[in-house]
Amino acid sequence: MTKHAEPTQTQSPSHGALWTPLSTLREEVDRLFDDFGVGLWRTPRPQAVTPGGALATGALLSPALELIDCDGQYEIKAELPGLLPADIDLDVEDGLLTLRGEIAEEKRDTRGDYLMSERRYGAFQRRLRLPSAADADKITATLSQGILTITIPKTAQARETARKIAIKSS
């Protein structure tokens, strides 16, 4: 088995390097392999049994995220169906954005002579290292129709240094 050296440009954002789409993809792939068992370089996630007896891993309780680099800001969209703002905790400390919450859902359906009852619960947490261009003091968040949108403005200095490069045909 050979070890591959990783380019410094695509190191994991959780290790303080650049926040790039490839590093985010790498973390998601790592999480996928963690769900199938112990990887060659990572430890397995803690697993728990749900009330119905199904195995629940961190990924099942972790919301899906979409990360977007817009012109003057970053946007993170998290899928949190059924949650209210009071169920969600969002904070930033030392360049880390932490999204926490608790899912507690119960459905009961009584028709005629039968009762159907379903319960789903568990806590989740996602942590993201903010890019160096992020203005952590001006982060805002809105929850609409189960989608949490976190807006992270870029610093004025980062916006000023960004420039478009013209591509010429040969």
Query: For residue 73, what pLDDT is reported?
Result: 92
64-123: pLDDT as tens digits: 899 998 878 999 999 998 889 999 999 999 999 999 998 877 888 888 888 888 887 788
**Residue with more model confidence, 62 or 93:** 93
Q: What is the mean pLDDT of the chain?
A: 75
Asked if 125 contacts 89 with a C-beta cutoff of 8 angstroms, the reply is: no
Tell me the percentage of the chain whose pLDDT exceeds 90. 33
Range 148-164 average pLDDT: 85
State the amino acid at position 119 in one-letter form. R
Residue 58, classed as helix, strand or coil, is helix
- Give the pLDDT score at 96: 92
**Burial class of residue 96 (count of CB atoms within 10 Å of its CB; 0-12, 13-18, 19+):** middle
Band (pLDDT 50/70/90 cuts) for residue 52 is: very low
Pairing of strands 140-144, 88-93: unpaired
Local confidence band at 44 (pLDDT 50, 70, 90 cut-offs): very low
Mean per-residue pLDDT, 28-50? 52
Residue 28 contacts residue 13 (beta carbons within 8 Å): no
- What pLDDT band is residue 36 in, cutting at 50, 70 and 90? low
Cβ within 8 Å of residue 152, ≥6 positions away: 73, 74, 75, 76, 97, 130, 134, 135, 136, 138, 139
- pLDDT number for residue 55: 39
- Domain residue ranges of the chain, discontinuous segments joined by +: 12-159
SS3 139: coil
The pLDDT value given to residue 41: 41
Residue-wise pLDDT for 8-28, tens only, equals 443 444 444 556 677 777 777
Can you give the pLDDT at residue 113? Answer: 86
With 60 as the cut, is the pLDDT of residue 169 above it? yes
pLDDT at 33 over 80: no
Fold of 12-159: Immunoglobulin-like (2.60.40)
